[in-house]
Amino acid sequence: MESLYIKLREQAAVHGQEHVFRFWDRLDKTGRRRLLEDIGNVDFELLDRLVQTWVLTEPPEEHFRHIVPVPVIPPVEPGDTGAAAALKAGEQALRDGRVAIFMVAGGQGTRLGFDGPKGSYPIGPISGNSLFQYHAEKIRKLQELYQVTLPWYIMVSPSNHGATQKYFEDHDCWGLNRTDILFIEQRMVPCVDPDGKLILEAPGCLAASPNGHGGCIQALVEGGALEDAQRRGVDILSYYQVDNWAAKVADPYFIGYHCLRQASMSSKCHRRNDLREAVGVHCLCDGVYRVIEYSELDLYPQLLQVDPEGEPLFYAGNPAIHLLSVPFVRDLYAHFIQFPWHKAFKKIPYVDQEGCVYKPDTPNGYKFETFVFDALRFTAHAPVALEIRRSGEYTPIKQFEGVNSVMAARASMAEYWAAWFEAADYQVPRDTEGRCAVDLEVSPAFALNREEFLSKVKGKPFHLDSGIAIHADGSFTLGESTVSSCQR
Q: Give the footprint of ligand UTP on this chain (CB under 6 A).
A: 104-111, 118, 155, 186, 210-213, 215, 241-243, 398
SS (H, E, C) the chain: CHHHHHHHHHHHHHCCCHHHHCCHHHCCHHHHHHHHHHHHCCCHHHHHHHHHHHHHCCCCCCCCCCEEECCCECCCCCCCHHHHHHHHHHHHHHHCCCEEEEEECCCCCCCCCCCCCHHHCECCCCCCCEHHHHHHHHHHHHHHHHCCCCCEEEEECCCCHHHHHHHHHHCHHHHCCHHHEEEEECCEEECECCCCCECEEECCEECEEECCHHHHHHHHHHCCHHHHHHHHCCCEEEEEECCECCCCCCCHHHHHHHHHCCCCEEEEEEECCCCCCCCCEEEEECCEEEEECHHHHHHCHHHHCECCCCCECCCEECCCCEEEEHHHHHHHHHCHHHCCCEEEEECCCEECCCCCEECCCCCCEEEEECCHHHHHHHCCCCCCEEECCCCCCCCECCECCCCCEHHHHHHHHHHHHHHHHHHCCCCCCECCCCCECCCEEECCCCCCCHHHHHHHHCCCCCCCCCCEEECCCCCEEECCCCCCCCEC
What minimum distance in Å lies between the beta carbon of 213 and ligand UTP? 4
* Choice between 368 and 446, CB closer to ligand UTP: 368
What minimum distance in Å lies between the beta carbon of 14 and ligand UTP? 28
What minimum distance in Å lies between the beta carbon of 459 and ligand UTP? 39
* Choice between 110 and 485, CB closer to ligand UTP: 110
Residues 431 and 95: their CA atoms lie apart, in Å, by: 43
Q: Give the residues across from 268 on adjacent strands.
A: 386
What minimum distance in Å lies between the beta carbon of 279 and ligand UTP? 11
What minimum distance in Å lies between the beta carbon of 155 and ligand UTP? 5
Q: Closest residue to ligand UTP, Cβ-based?
A: 107
* Choice between 111 and 390, CB closer to ligand UTP: 111
104 contacts 214 by C-beta, under 8 angstroms: no
* Choice between 271 and 346, CB closer to ligand UTP: 346
What minimum distance in Å lies between the beta carbon of 178 and ligand UTP? 21
What minimum distance in Å lies between the beta carbon of 311 and ligand UTP? 26
* Choice between 211 and 267, CB closer to ligand UTP: 211
* Choice between 154 and 457, CB closer to ligand UTP: 154
Residues 218 and 323: their CA atoms lie apart, in Å, by: 16
Indicate the SS3 state at residue 317. Answer: strand
What minimum distance in Å lies between the beta carbon of 265 and ligand UTP? 17
Give 84's contacts (C-beta < 8 A, 6+ positions apart).
Answer: none
Residues 255 and 236: their CA atoms lie apart, in Å, by: 8
* Choice between 98 and 410, CB closer to ligand UTP: 410
* Choice between 109 and 256, CB closer to ligand UTP: 109
* Choice between 51 and 242, CB closer to ligand UTP: 242
What minimum distance in Å lies between the beta carbon of 394 and ligand UTP? 13
Bridge pairing between strands 200-202 and 205-206: antiparallel
Residues 391 and 415: their CA atoms lie apart, in Å, by: 8
* Choice between 107 and 203, CB closer to ligand UTP: 107
Residue of 448, 473, 452 whose CA lies nearest to 252: 448
What minimum distance in Å lies between the beta carbon of 166 and ligand UTP? 17
Residues 370 and 368: their CA atoms lie apart, in Å, by: 7
Indicate the SS3 state at residue 266. Answer: strand
What minimum distance in Å lies between the beta carbon of 369 and ligand UTP? 6
What minimum distance in Å lies between the beta carbon of 157 and ligand UTP? 6
What minimum distance in Å lies between the beta carbon of 243 and ligand UTP? 5
* Choice between 132 and 146, CB closer to ligand UTP: 132
* Choice between 107 and 204, CB closer to ligand UTP: 107
* Choice between 118 and 270, CB closer to ligand UTP: 118
